């Protein structure tokens, strides 16, 4: 079964902590061991595992991505004007795989799972698949 998370992003660029939602769906699945695949079916959004203790890390990550991929660049040719969003999503990646053991996500002490919006605000979907193993 593929689960869907429906998200409403509120900013042009933001990182939304979805760890709790992923964990809640894992509990519904009643899976003891396996893997969780978290996937973004969007070309201007991604999925990241990152520190979730200090919100300044999210700020710093987004700031640096903006510096590396500025919103406007004289050589961008994409007609929609969101080339930077595509580049950021490609850099972050569209999915993450997390181990599951003892019915819990195997994440480091400071890690969280983030939906990364780079072209918002928008209505978004995040897909999850739990694979027993």
Mind listing the pLDDT tens digit for each residue in 84-109? 999 999 999 999 999 999 999 999 99
Three-state SS at 22: helix
Sign of CA dihedral 6, 8, 9, 15: negative
Architecture of domain 2-132: Sandwich (2.60)
**Closest to 16 measured CA to CA, from 92, 109, 70, 71:** 92
Q: Helices (DSSP H) in 1-49: which residue ranges?
A: 19-29
DSSP-derived pairing of the beta strands 34-39 and 123-132: antiparallel
Mind listing the pLDDT tens digit for each residue in 27-38? 999 999 999 999
Mind listing the pLDDT tens digit for each residue in 50-96? 999 999 999 999 999 999 999 999 999 999 999 999 999 999 999 99
pTM above 0.85, yes or no: yes
């Amino acid at each position: 079964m593929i689960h869907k998370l429906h998200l409403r992003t509120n900013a042009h660029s933001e990182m939304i902590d979805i760890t709790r939602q992923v964990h809640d769906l894992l509990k519904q699945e009643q899976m003891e061991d396996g893997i969780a695949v978290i996937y973004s079916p969007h070309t201007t959004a991604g999925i990241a595992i990152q520190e979730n203790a200090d919100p300044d890390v999210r700020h710093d990550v987004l700031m640096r991505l903006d510096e590396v991929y500025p919103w406007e660049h004289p050589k961008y040719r994409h007609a929609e004007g969101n080339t930077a969003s595509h580049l950021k999503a490609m850099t972050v990646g569209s999915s993450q795989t997390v181990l599951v053991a003892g019915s819990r996500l195997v994440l480091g002490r400071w890690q969280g799972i983030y939906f990364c919006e780079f072209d918002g605000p928008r209505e978004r979907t995040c897909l999850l698949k739990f694979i027993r193993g």
